[in-house]
A and B are shown apart, each in its own frame.
Chain A
Amino acid sequence: MSSKTAVIAKLALRNLRRQARRSLLTAASMIAGGALLIFSLILGDGTHEQWIDSAVRMADGHLAVQSVGFQDSRALKDRIPSESRGLVEQALRQGGFPANINDMVPRLAVTGMASSAAGARPARILGVDPVVEAAFSVLDEKVRQGRYLQSGDRLAAFVGIGLLEALDLRLGSKFVLTAQDAGGEIAGQLVRVVGTFRTGIPEVDRSLLHIPLSTAGAWLGCSGDVTSIGLLLGNSEQVPQTRSSLRQRLSQHPGSEELQVLSWRESLPELDAAVKIDDFSNYLFQGILFGIIALGIVNTVLMSVMYRRREFGVLQALGLTPGQSASLVLVEGLFLTVLSGTIGIALGLSVTWFLWGEGLDLSSMMNNEWTFSGVVMEPVVVPRFRVARMVQGLSFIFLIGMLASLYPALRALRIDVAETMKFER
């Protein structure tokens, strides 16, 4: 550090201490702002992660390997044949299973009809491997009656409560599934209700049902084939890197050009939009809040400059350049904002950690289950602590400090030394 830089830093700190009350008042607003900023960021991240986790478990995971075209057609013709499925599984296991992939589920999805003596209803039929699906999906935790599918089940169906009621079925009742098979023919399959679930999402409860993957394959004439292979990661942050590494691995195998790796943002565009809108409204709120705080900082630093005009004149008479005088103001503003902002962030983190580290319980505000975009809102929001958010928060505060000090610094830069000395007369 040069001698002048050291002098500027020393003067800046002493000047802040000199106007202790004014500095503390401004710092208090920045501390509150910093705490609120980090609180809302980590709580927002926790909420979003919960939405994503809930949605990807109901859907195709954080990442889904599908045949090109399936995302749009949702038709059995765009399925992954068993050879390609083997290729994907081989690519994933090659050189060790990536550590951040927690679960991998093959699924055979088809849209068809579920019929009983009471009538027929459209149904979204998922052929699943009961063992891996139970670890992947949350459906097995939503059992209302009976049980989830088990290994060895053949003609079993796990049915949404809405569909069960619409078809006037009970546990043990038989009903018929009808859908277009791999050959384009209409095929039927008799199944028996072994359990029912209730997610709280009406459209899911009214249409979804799980049957064993082997049963679905045999029924639809495509044993061993799947429509998607879902991957559940540790968290949504790992998606871009894992997707890129998976694409890299797949590209080394012939036939991989028929496959695509979709992230949850592509397979669940409504959720992606909801997260972005929520982030935007959060940023907007923070922007307005920090705009107000910045005005307070401008006022404090500007008052300090106006009050000390002659001092700036003296400093320049003693050998500081106008630019160095201005940098003194910038440093004061930055010290004030960055120090108090850092304290605020630390305070926000500590309070959130100690009070709501295990989760912020909002159940008293949620009378009934709350769903949107196919996501069930959990009543307990668990904050998500990420270093990146702290760095973002500090950078934002640094930027605010810099911007808020800019105008007062310009005023200091333009001080006419001879003019300031006239006040002595």
Chain B
Amino acid sequence: MVGNPALRTEAVWKVFHQEAEEVRAVRGVTLTIQPGEFVVLAGPSGSGKTTLLNLIGGLTRPTDGRVWVDGLELTRMGSRELARMRLEKLGFIFQSYNLLPVLSALENAEFPLLLRGMERDQRERRVRELFQRTGLAGLEHRRPGKLSGGQQQRVAVIRAVVGEPALVLADEPTANLDSAASDILLTVMEELNRDLGTTFIFATHDSRLMERSRRLIHLVDGQIVSDQWQESRREQ
């Protein structure tokens, strides 16, 4: 029996109304992403990458079309169900890290598990292992303000993957990082993808990230103009 795709969209549209103007941010996108893929959505500013990520994440509702995450149809869900779906099926990585400043690195990372009600020992074991894996061991009790940008983003990555979601959505994760920090971050995400089978979808301008993806989807004016499978440079 074949499992559910990590993501499926069917003719998804998103139209915004700004004063008298109608903006078609996403235009009939149909897309299927299988578990374990490492996909980049690329395209110029205003091409609809972030809007598409928001639609996939259930953060905004499509004007038309349907979205399934791990077989669950988002478009029919109420706000409570969407929240539960995000908690159980999705991980988010944002450009500005968006860690909660009042929590330590460890508390930020374990946040989804905390919301799920997982026991403390189990939670900490899983998070500490990921801290070890991502080179953050020893920084568990620092507040975000005491971490570098790269470190903060790695904490955000742990937070996104710690609950073993069906899909991790990353919006410009390297945009605020220098080359060295970006490289470390990408390596971490590639390893998590390879070792844990976590599915990643990135929206980015970053050519380094595009080069390291295995599937590159180009969006222009809210439409998919190319969908290419490639061997990442690292694999080469």
Contact = CB atoms under 8 A, between A and B. Distances in A.
Given A421-B54, A421-B59, A321 B80 contact: yes
Contacts of A322: 79, 83
A321 B83 contact: yes
B79, B86, B88, B115 — most chain A CB neighbours (10 Å): B115
Contact of A319 (B59, B84, B94, B100): B84
B18 to A, nearest CB: 12
A314 B98 contact: yes
A20 to B, nearest CB: 12
Given A314-B94, A418-B59, A421-B54, A320 B83 contact: yes
Contacts of B94: 314, 421, 424
B102 A320 contact: no
A3 B79 contact: no
A311 B100 contact: yes
A318 B111 contact: yes
Interface residues of B, number: 31
B95 A7 contact: no
B87 A319 contact: yes
B92 A318 contact: yes
Interface residues of A, number: 28
B106 to A, nearest CB: 13
A314 B115 contact: no
A11 interface: yes
B59, B87, B92, B116 — most chain A CB neighbours (10 Å): B59
Contact of A3 (B84, B115, B171): B115
A8 to B, nearest CB: 10
Contact of A11 (B80, B87, B102): B102
Given A318-B87, A319-B84, A3 B117 contact: yes
B114 A7 contact: yes
A276 interface: no
B112 interface: yes
Interface string A401-425: 0000000000000001110010010
Given A3-B117, A4-B115, A14-B103, A316 B83 contact: yes
Nearest to B160: A318
Nearest to B96: A424
Interface string B111-123: 1101111000000
Nearest to B60: A418
A2 interface: yes
Interface string B132-162: 0000000000000000000000000001000
19 contacts: A3-B116, A4-B117, A7-B114, A14-B102, A14-B103, A15-B102, A310-B98, A311-B101, A316-B86, A317-B92, A318-B115, A318-B159, A322-B83, A417-B54, A417-B59, A421-B50, A421-B59, A424-B94, A424-B96
Interface of B: 50-51, 54, 57, 59-60, 79-80, 83-84, 86-88, 92, 94-96, 98, 100-103, 111-112, 114-117, 159, 171-172
Interface of A: 2-4, 6-7, 11, 14-15, 17-18, 310-311, 314-324, 416-418, 421, 424
